Amino acid sequence: MGVTDPAGPVMDRDEVDRTLARLAAEHEAIETSLLALQDHAGRRLLEGAALTGVTEDRWASTEQSISLLWTYFDTYSTALNDARELRSRRRWSSRDDLVQLTERLRGRSITVAGAAAQHAPTLTGPARLTERFTLQELVDRMNELYAQSLDLVVAADAVWSALPARIDLLAAELHRTRTLAHSVGVRPGEHPSGDDLESITRELSALRAQVVSDPLAFWAPVPGASAPGSGRPDTERYDRAARALEDIRREIEAVLTVRQDAEQRLIRLRDVLSRADRTLAEARVARGEVLAKIAASEVPVVSGPPTALQERLAAAAEYRRHAQWHRLSPLLESLEREAEDELQRARESLTAVTAPLAVRAELRGRLDAYKAKVARHGMAEDRLLIERYDAARRMLWSAPCDLRVAEQAVLRYQQAAAEVLAPRQYGPEDRRGDS
């Protein structure tokens, strides 16, 4: 029965060696992580930046955490080295050595001074000026502080990597849009879009300054995530400014485009509407053909041409004639969308009307394909196949054609062909049951 103390049962030599190996591996991993954190670009930027707001407050706390991390690590290194030195004194450690090693490796044998700087006073009194740890507790504390510190550094670096460059690109686009706006007479105080451009200019300037000084205000962490840096930059304000600028840019470019090629766009509109009318006319003719050739089939009604679009097209031509570009621009855009929709509707109507003819054509093709397959296998003279082929062909090439009945006739021919072409599995009996 082993002797026990606050550190638990006394460890044997194998347990000591395994524990030292594990703690050494953790020491190496922690050292690598701390050096990587020390060299992290985000940490260097935070050290040199003029911070404000939530980033200023959290970075001040994180700097203390990083400093404490190194204090903990130095203490951990010293304790680990002392334990290694004690173990290396003798190949076969004495019981006194094992008792000491057990206390050092498992007991709260490590005292860290100054740790209270990281902890606020509690309700029971001020925070302690020293803390005592086991080696494993010290590792857990270092891992916790490291994860918190890395989370802040990664978040700030992610925001700085994503937003300022995007804001600069948007500012350049804003400058181009303002120049374009001036060229078509859109200026602050004279046109609402000119006032909006000035507002976006002020917003981008303020946004960039805040992103640079307070990046954590633009960080959206993933709720419940435990990995450091789990989240994404919050681009809501940037996206709102980008959408507003895009709307203005489109409006201004539309006015400019209208002034430059209004006649060509009107010609294209007339052409699209003409194609829609011709397609509807073709659908009406096809509907009559389907009703004459296909029996027992529901054929949709084809609507007439849209007169409202033609009236608005005439209004657009009047706007162009009187150089009313601000009215012509939105009207042309809506007309172009609706004309394409009308052409698509006409095409869909033609497809729906001719669907029965397509089904009949598919059945005809399938019937002839199976006939050719039967002929390739030398069974073209089979009496049953000839009878079923002729029956299906009469149905498909007669008017009006009952598609449901014709499809059943084609299926019967396919089944007969499959039986003829299939290898005989049950002896020489004929497939018709003849003896």
Q: Is the pLDDT of residue 177 over 50?
A: yes
Residues 382-418 pLDDT 10s: 888 888 888 888 888 887 887 788 888 888 888 888 8
In a domain, residue 81? The reply is: yes
CB atoms within 10 A of CB 338: 17
In-domain check, residue 26: yes
Q: At which of 137, 159, 181 does a domain end?
A: 159
Mean model confidence pLDDT for the chain: 81
Q: Which of 159, 178, 211 is the last residue of a domain?
A: 159
DSSP string, 147-188: HHHHHHHHHHHHHHHHHHHHHHHHHHHHHHHHHHHHHTT--T
Cross-strand pairs, 295: 402
Domain count, the chain: 2
pLDDT digits (tens, 9 = 90+) for 62-106: 888 888 888 888 888 888 888 888 777 777 766 777 777 787 788
Structural domain harbouring 402: 355-421
316: in domain:
no
Q: Kindly state the average pLDDT of the residues 215-233.
A: 81
User: Which positions ≥6 away from 85 have C-beta within 8 Å?
Assistant: none
pLDDT at 151 over 60: yes
Is 84 among the domain residues? yes
How far apart (Å, rounded) are the C-alpha atoms in residues 212 and 225?
A: 26
Q: With bands split at pLDDT 50, 70 and 90, how would you rate the model's confidence at 169?
A: very high
User: Strand 294-295 and strand 401-402: pairing?
Assistant: parallel
| pLDDT reported for residue 320 | 81
Under DSSP, the state recorded for 300 is P
User: Per DSSP, what are the bridge partners of residue 233?
Assistant: 219
Q: Which residues of 50-77 are buried (b: 16+ CB within 10 A; e: fewer)?
A: ebeeebeebbeebeebbebbebbbebbe
Question: Is residue 255 in a domain?
Answer: no
- State which of 127, 159, 191 marks the end of a domain: 159
Q: Residue 264 pLDDT > 80, yes or no?
A: yes
Q: For residue 122, list its beta bridge partners.
A: 125
In 10 A of CB 150, how many CB atoms?
21
| Assigned domain for 30 exists | yes
Type of residue at 190 = E
What was the pLDDT predicted at 114?
57
Pairing of strands 130-133, 219-221: unpaired
Q: Is residue 155 part of a domain?
A: yes
Which long-range CB contacts under 8 A does 378-386 form with residues at least 24 apart?
379/417, 379/420, 379/421, 382/420, 384/416, 384/420, 384/432, 385/413, 385/416, 385/417, 385/420
Beta carbons of 80 and 24 less than 8 angstroms apart: yes
Sequence-distant (6+) residues with CB within 8 A of 55 are 46, 156, 213, 214, 215, 216, 217
Give the residue, 289 or 149, on which the prediction is more confident. Answer: 149
Model confidence pLDDT, tens digit, residues 25-56: 888 888 888 888 887 888 888 887 889 999 99
Q: How far apart are CA 112 and CA 67, in angstroms?
A: 13
Give 307-335 pLDDT, tens digit per residue. Answer: 888 888 889 888 888 766 667 878 888 99
Angle between helical axes of 95-106 and 13-39 (0-180°, round to 10): 30
User: Which among 7, 220, 3 has a CA at the least distance from the CA of 106?
Assistant: 7
CA distance 12 to 277: 95
Q: Is the Cα dihedral 81, 84, 89, 93 positive or negative?
A: positive
Q: Residue 394 falls within a domain, yes or no?
A: yes
For the chain, give the percent of residues with pLDDT over 70: 88
- Angstrom CA distances, 371 to 97, 109, 159, 170, 432, stand at 97, 94, 69, 67, 20
What band does 236 get if pLDDT is binned at 50, 70 and 90?
very high
